[in-house]
Amino acid sequence: MQIINEPQNALSQATQGIQWAYPNLTWVPNTFGCYDSNFQDDQIPLIAGGGSGHDPAHWGYVGPGMLTAAIMGTVFQPPTSQEIVKVTKQVTRQRRVFFIVKNFPADVSAFTAAQQQLQKEHWQTGLCIVADDISVDHESLKQRRRGVAGTILVHKILGAAAAQGASIAELTHIAAALVPNIHTIGVAASGARIPGQSTASFNLNPGEIYYGIGIHGEPGYRREPFQSSERLAQELIRDCLKTKNSGII
């Protein structure tokens, strides 16, 4: 069930609520981007983002020891490269930044374009792409490698390193060691429904769960009746360990 007012106002009202609850955030005009008002510009700023509708991602991860800023697009759509650049320039005057990006084609394209634009303007930039999802495509059986829940760990670990003065090169090195060792699988008990849409991304029978779904409602690889939390945990842990032990990254 969704409790919202007018669907077309859902995103703007959500950001108004965040602004009220977290006055330590400064919002960048004409974007869905915000940054930590107390950020010390002697650190490398960490910026992440993507489509809105995944709260608390990524606005909720902005603060000391995590993200410096978050820039979101509309629901399930990433921000434009121009919006990313605008927020970045608002955050720091030191011409250096590190982007953390989830492995979805549109997200990667937008942040890569922003990075290239900044580099043309003689910025020092770093970028890591998080690809923790080890679920498989139902037909090809290939791992999807989307960036999902594991991204939070990257925010925290790189955020702690940046707070201790890590350089862009050092953040890049940490990310290269960290990202291949984060494995997750999504499970759903219902489909996602964008505000204003009458149908969900998929439908499940009562008491059914769906393994391997994506955060936008992308289809998974197996449906089955829910048996117990223990059975669910066993499958998820077994598959994550299998990926680790097989050397697949």
Query: Annotated catalytic sites, by residue?
Result: 54, 216
CB 209 within 8 A of CB 187: yes
3-state secondary structure of 3: coil
- Helix H or strand E encompassing 88: helix 81-91
Please state, in angstroms and rounded to a whole number, the distance separating the CA atoms of residues 169 and 211: 37
DSSP 123-182: -EEEEEEE--B--B-TTT--B-----TTHHHHHHHHHHHHHTT--HHHHHHHHHHHGGG-
Q: Strands 25-28, 32-36: parallel, antiparallel or unpaired by DSSP?
A: antiparallel
